[in-house]
Structure 1
Amino acid sequence: MTIRNLMLGGAITATLAVSAWAHSGASGVVKERMEMMESMGDAVKAIKPMMTGEATYDADAVRKAARTIAAQAGDDLTSLFPQGTDGAPSEALPTVWTERERFEDLADALEQAALGLERAADNGLHAGQSGMMGGQSGMMGDQSGMMGGMMGEQSPMMDGQTGMMGIGNMMSAEHIGQMPADGAFVMMTQVCSACHDRYREEDH
């Protein structure tokens, strides 16, 4: 599978993860967090075509989208999930509260990834012949999942057993900022997907 297809799949998942929360009937903090998720989803959608080669790359637009997401991640995100705000019309699963520390770690990881993407905007897109996500030295080492070659086989960013972030091995915004912008974008959307898969109720 090509890097373009991998990124497109990740971006679509992430976009659905953060933009499909907006539903009628919500009020108060539930409505506020749905609107936040929708805002982040719009930011992802705005730059996804650039990352997949469907639109001309625009570093300023990438920075703007990354800042939008970073500003709504971390503590700003988790503060909108106080105890007792589950249940319809919210689509947040009880695991948000029963796994609070893990949820907060993922929110922090999203902030770092978005800040990293902002830093990486001027790096442009990956243009090498050896796929950024292939091989033992690529971004996605075959044996080690997310960040295989860059972080080593024993410390993948995405835990292969759980699909969750290996938070102890989370990369800083500074390190992510050294990647091509499309690599940083993939990382950010993978965090979105990990959070979506564990903490949001699927549509039926």
Structure 2
Amino acid sequence: MKIWITAIAIGTTGVAALAHSGATGVVLERMQGMSAMAKTLKTLSPMMRGQVPYDADVVRREAGAMIGHAGEQMTRLFPEGSGGGVSKALPSVWENSEEFAALAQELRTAAEGLKLSAGNGLAAAQGNGSESMMGGATDGMMGGGSAPAMGGGMMGSDLPMTTEMFADMPTDRAFAMVAQTCSACHQKFRKEDK
């Protein structure tokens, strides 16, 4: 079993290295951070859809990883002049830096909220039906469709979300907010993959 896990880890590292070939310094660091957050979404998405057993500890761990790459930790990796080359950052990162920073902070709040909501479980387990929670929310992040850009607060509201607002929220709803925030940022600030 350890040999198989090691082989997967080596294979994943090789793919990540290939995807970031040519990147150095702060560009490489931010690409690695974005890859770590994408891994979190890919790890949690099947759980949120009920395709694998729900595990609150895994949710907390993965949300913690995302928290470590969001907010100021993210924005500091986009200094002026660090676009171009292998970078996937659009010029809008620097042209609309306040909006970019707001979305980075919104992502941190949503990730903190996801971690806080981990003990709540999925909406279906609460009798709320998880399909309506997860419908298109992760599709925009995971490859199909797109989530609407955020307004003044999460989910298009004019009121900014706070971490405490997640306390009683089903975990899949909190996860949908994380995914929508990622998607909104990618729509405005990231070059599309070809």
Q: What letter matches 2:78 in structure 1? A: F
Equivalent position to 1:192, from 167, 182, 194: 182
Q: Which has the higher helix share?
A: 2
Q: Report the residue type matching 1:41 in the other structure.
A: A
Report whether the alignment pairs 1:176 with 2:162: no
Q: Sequence identity, in percent? A: 47
Contact 2:49 2:130 in 1 (8 A): no
Quote the Cα distance in structure 1 between the aligned partners of 2:21 and 2:84: 14
What is the match of residue 104 of structure 2?
A: 107
- Residue 102 (structure 1) shift: 0.3
Distance 2:70 2:190 in 1: 16
TM-score (norm 2): 0.76
Deviation of residue 163 (structure 1)? 2.0
How far residue 130 of structure 1 moved from its aligned partner, in angstroms, is 5.5
Shift of 1:133: 7.8
Residue 65 of structure 2 is aligned to residue 68 of structure 1: yes
| SS of residue matched to 1:43 | helix
Letter in 2 for 1:192: C
1:85 Cα deviation (Å)? 0.3
1:115 Cα deviation after fit: 0.3
Report 1:1-204 matches (<5 A). 22-127=19-124, 131=129, 163-167=149-153, 169-204=159-194
Q: Is the partner of 1:31 in helix, strand or coil? A: helix
CA distance in 2, matches of 1:89, 1:177: 40
**CA contact under 8 A between 1:165 and 1:194: conserved in structure 2?**
no
Q: 1:47 to 1:132 in 2, by over 3 A?
A: closer
Q: Which amino acid aligns with 2:85?
A: A
Task: Give unpaired runs (5+ residues) of structure 1.
Answer: 1-18, 141-145, 147-159
Give the total of aligned pairs: 162
Q: 1:63 to 1:81 in 2, by over 3 A?
A: same
CA apart distance, 1:203? 1.8
AA partner of residue 53 (structure 1): G
CA contact (8 A) 1:177 1:184 kept: no
Cα deviation 1:179-200 (Å, max 9, x = unaligned): 0000000011000000011100
Q: Alignment partner of 1:57: what SS?
A: coil
Secondary structure of 2:72 counterpart = helix
Name the aligned partner's letter for residue 179 of structure 1. Answer: M
* Deviation of the 1:165 alpha carbon: 3.4
Distance 1:94 1:176, change over 3 A: same
Q: Secondary structure at the match of 1:115?
A: helix
C-alpha RMSD of the superposition: 2.4
Unaligned 5+ runs, structure 2: 1-15, 138-146
Residue 5 of structure 1 aligns with which residue?
none
Give the AA of the match of 2:38.
G
